[in-house]
Amino acid sequence: MKTFCGRANPTTGALDWVEEGEEYDFHQEIARSCYADMLHDHDRNEKYYQGIRAAVARVKARGEKVIVLDIGTGTGLLSMMALTAGADFCYAVEVFKPMADAAQCIVEKNGFSDKIKIINKHSTEVTVGPDGDMQMRANILVTELFDTELIGEGALPSYEHAHQNLVQEGCEAVPHRAIVYAQLVESELLWSWAKLQHIEVEGARLVPPPAVDLCAGAHSVCDIQLSQVPPHNFTPIGPVCTMFSVDFSKPVSSAHQTHSSHFLAQFSGQAQVVLSWWDIDMDPSGSIVCSMAPNWTYPEPKMAPWRDHWMQSVYFLPAEKRVAEGEELSLTVCHDDYSLWYSLGADSKQGTETEALPCRPCCTCQAHLVWTRPRFGELNDSHRTETYVSALRSVLKADSVCLGVSDGSLLPVFAHMLGAKKVFSLENSRMSKQVIEEVLEANSMKGHVQLLEIRPDQLTCNDLGGEQISVLMGEPFFSSSLLPWHSLFFWYCRTALVNLLQPSATIMPHSATLHMVAVEFQDLWRIRAPCGTCEGFDVQPMDEMVQRSLDFREALEPEPHPLWEYPCRALTQAKAVMNFDFTQCVPQQPISSRGLLPFLRSGNCHGVALWMEYQLTEDISVSMGLTGPVNGQGACEWSRHRKQGVYFFSSPWESSGDGRASVSYNLTFEPSLGDIKMEFTLESL
């Protein structure tokens, strides 16, 4: 059975109707989950298995029959671990039906179907009794309900319900407890993701709107690979603090709670950011620990386990606060049933005034709803600003009529500051328009830049006051873009505006190039690696059907990833492989590019990284990928502001680095689809 799904095309701006097969949701949802990453997380699997074996042994030592409840079973791996460890029966709960069906297949394939019952329900809907889903309450509770923030997947309500209804009093729990840690720091890099800062343009200062400056920010956690933020990018204001712990073997409350840690400031500086992570103890003694700590907390950073399904969290204080070395501080964490937030006050134990109980941060300025955190960092990047200002300065004239085409962009503001006669800007949403209006008002520029909430193909000469455009400019940046080439939407806008452009109009950027390099990932390859027998545990956690789902993405398109968080080595040179001329309209015929990239370094090639570079003027360009040359060992430095595209190969290609093997590429840009079809093969001499 086929169905048609309507999707907004991020490149062309059109609504596309796509025919999908009946297994679409199954493939897509499993493909987008983190099951492959978790199954390749040897440290996680080993610690869970050790904890489960110990819990089973403790129950057996009491002479009891071992009944296990596994909430959020996923592939059924933890339930199979429990049976292998000697459990008598397992109830495995999985609310997501496609995954529950997959778990059933996996359990049957491994010969455990008579001792594992898959229950396709939310755990809070599971019943116990002769006619219920479970015949009796369990005496071992096994779960993997955690996310980067620990509680974001509803762990607390699930545990609360399980203790009240599904498990015996005094049950064993694996994991046994979780401990949340935090460290208060000053970081120019991280703070640039939280607030719009002052921007210098030609000796003038662009100030943020008061509402943006005072806003507490977005309530959602910023989860990143904190190991890739080197210690020189932040200054610890305080020590690593134990904020709170949760004992999962006892009744758990999902009620709002507040915990504080008191300490003396180690350095004078601006308290801005809280770095946070958690550990889980798999046993009561705390001898089996699975830690999420970043690698720079380890004596040997290379020994830190890598995982992408659990990372670390960055929280931004509602406002930065100047503190002095030796000052007594109180860091407070609050949580409801799904999220955490932090605040900083004076130490109440010393009798000093404390801040009121902090409320959950909520954006009141709308800027945090319009701009993502990487986008804030991009807008606050002074080098980037200087690059765009230099390009604008070289193309603007006193009589220039400018039109900006980007989402929530400050380029039109810069154009006015540089003396353009008239400046217009197309905004994709009312919210985005309102944020830029507040920027203009805060800088006494209201009316000098006219914001138009209208589609490019609907814009008329009347909307421009009878003027024709002499400078069409864009970063380009669009909030709907996922993959690098989706920003070619600028080209489609330019084409729609052709009748409003002066014959000699300047297009900035005037062109773009798609670049690629074949890479060996240090760790990211794990999210796409085939799953078979888990290392150290003799069961097959994946069957062919589930593996096909995890491989499904490769047949569709590359994936967007912020590669600054995922170290890799370039095995070939970086090369421009496709050109797009914005001075001309989008062509009707496809653009094709073929070629070879010889391997220059030995290693396992996991795929290719792809990004866009924009030629603003003849001598000024900006890269959304590599920010500098690849060094002799192949190390790459990537832009923190944009995601790059990654095309994973189904299995690694081994390179000897002697130039006798190459990556052969065949790329075709389809103008009607706004997409690039890609084919890669390994060529050997």
Query: For residue 635, how many other CB atoms are within 10 A of its CB?
Result: 11
| Paired strand residues for 333 | 259, 342
Residue 487 CB partners (closer than 8 Å, separation 6+) = 476, 477, 478, 481, 612, 624
Residue 122 CB partners (closer than 8 Å, separation 6+) = 93, 95
Residue 28 identity: Q
Q: Which helix (H) or strand (E) holds 103?
A: helix 97-109
**From the candidate CATH numbers 2.40.400.10, 3.40.309.10, 2.70.160.11, 1.10.3720.10, the one assigned to the domain spanning 511-684:** 2.70.160.11
Can you give the three-state secondary structure of 352-379, one letter per residue?
CCCCCCCCCCCCCCCHHHHCCHHHHHHH
The reported pLDDT for the residue numbered 428 is 86
- Distance, C-alpha 378 to centroid of its chain: 16
Q: Is residue 325 annotated as part of the catalytic site, yes or no?
A: no
- Class level of CATH domain 381-508: alpha beta
Can you give the three-state secondary structure of 118-138, one letter per residue?
EECCCHHHCCECCCCCECCCE
Residue 493 identity: C
What the block records as the tokens of 154 is 């509803």
What the block records as the tokens of 610 is 């792809």
Q: Which residue has the tokens 């009316």?
A: 447
Which entry of 23, 29, 108, 153 is annotated as an active-site residue? 153
CA–CA separation, 330 and 155 (whole Å): 27
CA–CA separation, 55 and 140 (whole Å): 7
The reported pLDDT for the residue numbered 361 is 85
Tell me the CA distances in angstroms from 654 to 125, 521, 529, 557, one per residue in order: 50, 13, 15, 23
The reported pLDDT for the residue numbered 352 is 36
Residue 289 CB partners (closer than 8 Å, separation 6+) = 47, 279, 280, 281, 282
Residue 424 CB partners (closer than 8 Å, separation 6+) = 401, 402, 403, 404, 412, 449, 450, 451, 452, 463, 464, 469
By the 8 A CB rule, do 264 and 327 touch? yes
The reported pLDDT for the residue numbered 68 is 98
Pairing mode, strands 621-623 and 644-656: unpaired
What the block records as the tokens of 201 is 């343009």
The reported pLDDT for the residue numbered 414 is 98
The reported pLDDT for the residue numbered 557 is 72
The reported pLDDT for the residue numbered 245 is 98
548 — phi, psi (to 5°)? -60, -35
Q: Which residue has the tokens 């059109």?
A: 14
Which entry of 46, 94, 144, 427 is annotated as an active-site residue? 144
Tell me the CA distances in angstroms from 543 to 91, 533, 540, one per residue in order: 20, 10, 7
**From the candidate CATH numbers 2.70.160.11, 3.40.630.10, 3.30.750.24, 1.10.3720.10, the one assigned to the domain spanning 178-364:** 2.70.160.11
| Paired strand residues for 47 | none
CA–CA separation, 307 and 296 (whole Å): 15
pTM score over 0.75:
yes
Residue 192 identity: S
By the 8 A CB rule, do 180 and 333 touch? yes
| Paired strand residues for 597 | 663
- Angle of helix 97-109 relative to helix 24-32, nearest 10 degrees, comes to 80
- Angle of helix 77-84 relative to helix 42-61, nearest 10 degrees, comes to 40
Q: Is residue 144 annotated as part of the catalytic site, yes or no?
A: yes
**How confident is the chain (685 residues) per 10-residue block, as mean pLDDT?**
63 67 50 64 94 98 98 94 97 94 91 96 97 97 96 95 97 98 98 96 94 91 96 97 98 95 97 98 98 97 94 96 97 94 73 52 93 97 97 97 97 97 94 96 96 95 96 96 97 97 97 98 88 54 47 62 98 97 97 97 97 98 96 95 96 90 97 95 89
Tell me which CATH homologous superfamily contains domain 33-174.
Answer: Vaccinia Virus protein VP39 (3.40.50.150)
Let me know if the fold of 33-174 is the same as that of 381-508.
Answer: yes
Alpha helices in 137-238 (DSSP H): 155-165, 188-191, 210-214
Full DSSP string of 440-471 = HHHTT-BTTEEEE-S-GGG--GGGGTT--EEE
What the block records as the tokens of 629 is 């040359």
Q: Check residue 71 and give left, alpha or beta (phi > 0: left; psi -120 to 50: alpha).
A: beta
What's the alpha-carbon Rg for the chain, to the nearest Å? Answer: 28
The reported pLDDT for the residue numbered 472 is 98
Angle (CA) 217-220-221 rounded to 5° is 105
CA–CA separation, 681 and 676 (whole Å): 16
Q: Which residue has the tokens 């809907």?
A: 125
The reported pLDDT for the residue numbered 39 is 78
Domain ranges of the chain: 33-174, 178-364, 381-508, 511-684
